[in-house]
Amino acid sequence: MKTMCIDQELKRLYLSSYEGSLFIFSISGLTPLLLHSLLLPSDLGHCRTFQADFNKNILFCLTKLSALHVLQLDSKNEKNSTIVDTIVNPYEPHEKVSRMLWLSRMKCQVEGSDKGKIRFCDIENRGEMMFVLPSDFSERITCMHYCKEKNVLFIGARDGKFRVWKLPGEWRDKQIE
């Protein structure tokens, strides 16, 4: 298995394999029960990481080739869960997306690249870049974390640099500190 994600109620486990399959398990009982499996398109590589918005029943899957699969989850009948969009990285092959983070409060995704770029993208507009966050990163973004309660974004890079940004409540109208 390559990556996994568990919902906040500890009822569902989402696993991906190197072969491109996505497995949805019920973990409410003692023994995990396979509810459904999806075969992701193999031409974009296996799923490297998941991000989920369980309030909206959306699962984001970043692939090895920097594409983003957007899956609509059906929590009542997992067999109806399906890929609703695939956003291909427009910066390929010169720059790969190394990390992705969904900001539910801001309804956008943050992409970190292998060249240290940090982009805010609009998922509802097919991943269109809204702006680039100024930083002094020059190497691969290796980790990202968003604290929704404090509205703070933490990002680290391969060279050991680490930065913290306080995001504004209405970020489209204000600057990021």
> Checking phi first, is residue 162 left (phi over 0); if not, alpha (psi -120 to 50) or beta?
beta
pLDDT in the model for residue 105: 74
Sites in the chain below the pLDDT cut of 50: 173-174, 177
Beta bridge partner(s), residue 59: 52, 71
Q: What is the pLDDT of residues 104-155, one digit of tens each?
A: 777 788 999 999 999 998 887 878 888 888 888 999 999 999 988 888 999 9
The three-state DSSP-derived secondary structure of the chain is CCEEEECCCCCEEEEECCCCEEEEEECCCCCCEEEEEEECCHHHCCEEEEEEECCCCEEEEEECCCCEEEEECCCCCHHHCEEEEEECCCCCCCCCEEEEEEECCCCEEEEEECCCCEEEEEHHHCCEEEEECCCCCCCCEEEEEEECCCCEEEEEECCCCEEEEECCCCHHHCCCC
Q: What are phi and psi of 124, to 5 degrees?
A: -70, -15
Average pLDDT, the chain: 85
CATH 2.40.10.480 fits 1-88, yes or no: yes
pTM above 0.95, yes or no: no
Domain regions of the chain by residue span: 1-88, 92-177
